[in-house]
Structure formats: structure tokens, C-alpha cells
Amino acid sequence: MTIKDIYDLAIKMGVDADPRGQDGVKKHLERIKNRFEDLPTSKKEEFDMETLENPYSDTRILFGDPTTNVEKVITGIDFDTGEVVLTDRLNEKGENIHLMIAHHPAGGALSSLHEVMDLQVDMLATYGVPINVAEGLFRERIPQVKRRFGPVNHYRSVDAARLLNIPLMCIHTVWDNMGWRYMRDIFETREFDTVGDVMHEIKKIPEYAQAIKFKAGPDIFSGSEKGRAGKVVVGGFTGGTEAAKEIYERMSHAGVGTVITMHAGDEHRDEAKKHHINLVVAGHMVSDSIGANLFLDELEARAVSVIPASGLIRVKRNGGENGRVGSKRKRN
């Protein structure tokens, strides 16, 4: 596969697993196109044309010739200068790695992270929150995220990759969509009596079983094991980063009982408690690993070998219901 083939596969799989559905993604791209067409010529020159085709601003080829042939990748959750130097060291030792794939974005894919948050508006609406209310909840939050990531040194790892001449890409919301869909198919399609039953089910997933051994497994931030679960949703798995904390009040009114999320700050915990929502925090690196693994299996099926690094809990799946049957845990 070339880097471009991997990029195209990522976009395709991200759309296939998108909480907005294929039509929702299409509508999103149409809205971007209309916005672009309404711009004056001077602003059109500044416009990121890739956003007309790729609905994920945080999934990009950051450095490297897209036509480069790839037989081996190194991949993980966070790639900074350290991981780039690590890759160079491994290549010196004869690994022959052609591409680095990070999950968390860097470069322009990080400074524009807020652009993918729109996805969460549609997702909230599927839980029964009116779309106008969902949009209102994110009106303040999205520019807040933009301001938070604005001052960060976005190009640090990209510069390191350029200096050592190793191609680098990041696949963020695409993998998060895939992880979200995997979890949704398990947790939003059946009933759970208690929060403990939800926890029990999470722990059956091999990535989480491994994370527990790393002392970074799932935890209940609000509610208790014996508490009734009510309607379970997989809320905080995709869409850039944490939503506005006000979502819990609205979700509670919309009939949600338990939210499974990757990570949550204390402000979110307090709001969930206040509105009697059970908040199950599944764990960050481990939850990111789920979407990553589903994608990496596809790369391996296309004869690309994968070196897991940087916090990725690599689990290979051999198919079966939700890809869980016949899965085997592996950490190399």
C-alpha cells in the first residue's frame, strides 16, 4: 500500500463508522462546500481544500510523499519527537519502517481539532436531545477548544519527522469513530440491569482486560456498581475531545442513564453526579487502542506489518461477532 492508499482507507472506514451515518457526513461536506463558495476570493486562498473531501480535519498526512510504498509501519497513541527518534533508531537497527502513524493529531491536524466536534452535535441528537439544544451546547465549547489548542507547539513532531525524513501521518477521529461503533454495537443494543453489569461487559473486551493489569482499566466516576444502569450510551468516544459539561443535564432529561466515555475531568464528573447520570470512564489509551486495532487489522490483512508503540494496547481480531470471537491478546 502507498501512504495515500492508507489515508484513503482511513477516510472510508471513518465514514463507514461515523455516528452521523453516511448521509450525515454528506450533509456536513455540503455545508463546508457552501461555506467555501460563499467566501470572498481573498479568503478562498486561505481555505483548506482538503476539508471539501475529508470530513476529519484531524486525520492527515503530516509529512512524506503520498506515493511512498509502505510495507511496515510503527504506530501508537502519541507521537512526539521521542517517537520519531525511536523510529529512526529502530531503522538504524534494521527495522526498515516506512511510515509512522500517530493517533493523536499534530501539526495543522491538532490546531484544527475543534473542527471535528460538530460530529458530537449530531450524536447528542440521536440520544434525544433536540438538535438546536445540542448545537447551542457546543456553540461556546468549540471555540474554547480552539483557544486551548491554539498556543500548543503543533509542528514539533512533524518537524522532527521532516528532519529525519520519515513519513508521518495521524488518524484521530477515524479511529475514534471505529472504536465508538464497536462499543455502540455492544452497549447500545442490549439492556443492562446495573452499572456493575456494564463494567462486567467492558472487562470482557481484551484491550480492557489488559488495561486492568496496567492499572488503567475502567472506573465508575459517578454512580455505583449496584445502581441501575438505565439507558446506556457510548458518549465520549469520538468527536475530537470532551464535550461541554452541560450535556449531562440535557442527556438526563432525554432519558439517558449511563454514559460510557474514554476520559472525563472533574467538572464532568460533578455535572454527571448532579444530574444522576452514571459515568463510566473506560480509560483513555485503552479506548483509543480499540479503534486503532480494528484499523491495523485491515492494514495487516493488506500485507503491511505493524509495530505497536506509544501506549497502544495491540489486540488482533480474527472476525466473529463484533470481532470479539477468536481475538487474541498480544503486546510485542
Q: Name the residues that contact Fe ion, by CB under 5 A.
A: 288
Q: How many CA atoms lie within 13 A of 188 on its CB side?
A: 15
The minimum distance between CB 43 and Fe ion, in angstroms, equals 32
Residue identified by cell 514539533 is 156
Question: Closest distance between Fe ion and the C-beta of residue 290, in Å?
Answer: 11
* Nearest CB to Fe ion, comparing residues 210 and 252: 210
Pick from 65, 74, 64, 115: nearest CA to 96:
74
**All three cell numbers of 312:** 497502544
Question: Cell numbers of 97, please?
Answer: 519502517
- Around Cβ 328, how many Cβ atoms within 10 Å? 9
- Residue 58 or 288: which CB sits closer to Fe ion? 288
Q: How far is the CB of 262 from Fe ion (least distance, A)?
A: 6
> Could you give phi then psi for residue 44, rounded to 5 degrees?
-60, -35
Minimum CB–partner distance for residue 175 and Fe ion (Å): 9
Smallest gap from Cβ 176 to Fe ion, in A, equals: 7
SS3 label, residue 223: coil
Beta carbon nearer to Fe ion, 160 or 282: 282
DSSP label of 228? B
Rounded least distance, CB 283 to Fe ion, Å: 10
- Closer to Fe ion by CB, 54 or 241: give it: 241
| Contacts of 163 by beta carbon, 8 Å cutoff, 6+ apart | none
CB of 37 to Fe ion, least distance (A): 33
Under the phi-then-psi rule, with left for phi > 0, alpha for psi from -120 to 50, and beta for the rest, what region is 115? alpha
Structural element, H or E, at residue 141: helix 131-149
Residue 324 DSSP label: T
Q: Which is nearer to Fe ion, 207 or 288 (CB)?
A: 288
Residue with cell 460538530: 118
Nearer to Fe ion, 242 or 288 (CB): 288
Which residue's CB atom is positioned nearest to Fe ion?
Answer: 288
